[in-house]
Amino acid sequence: MSRWWTAFGAWGLFSSPGSVSPWRTVYPARKWIVALLTSFWGLRLCAYLSFRNWGKGEDPRYGKWREASGDGFWIVSLFKVFWLQALVLWVISLVIQIPQMSPQPARLTAWDGFGAAVWLIGFVFESVADRQLQRFKADPRSKGQVMDRGFGVIPGTRTISANA
């Protein structure tokens, strides 16, 4: 796996800052805002996932998947995990790449404010939902139940909450 990381993973990790670097154009304000907001989101997610998974072993779902795949686990992982995640990451990152590449308009607009507001709503929603889920899972009475309070009452979040 270390050879794969050297060939592909490190390239993606170290080329990413160049694609979102705010110092590449004449008008950097939008690029700085996008880079900072993206970094804050990533740091929040990294901190939450690190805290949630610290000291725990492998997720049992992955262990079962590895056993079911047998000796072909590496090729199954390549397609089901790495290439699929790379495709999804690329599509999702378009929303970050486009503002970084566009030199126009050379000023902040109402759309920039709207984008920052959507980011803030998402950031707060995710932070509060993560905290609610953490408290729900820590309560022994909730064992085997689906979170159906707080943000868990919003359609679509129950499945995520139950499986997280």
Q: What is the pLDDT of residues 76-96, one digit of tens each?
A: 888 887 888 888 888 888 877
Average pLDDT over residues 58-69: 80
Closest CA to 137 of 113, 162, 118, 114: 162
Better pLDDT: 102 or 38 = 38
Looking at the predicted structure, is the pLDDT value of residue 98 above 50? yes
Residue 118: per-residue pLDDT: 92
16-45 pLDDT, tens digit each: 554 455 555 556 788 888 888 888 888 888
Give residue-wise pLDDT tens across range 124-158.
Answer: 988 888 888 888 888 888 888 877 777 766 655 54
- For residue 72, the one-letter residue type is G
Domain ranges for the chain: 21-104, 109-164
The string of DSSP letters for 80-102 reads IIIIHHHHHHHHHHHHHHHHHH-
- Whole-number Cα distances in Å, 76 to 35, 59, 89, 132, 159: 34, 17, 19, 34, 25
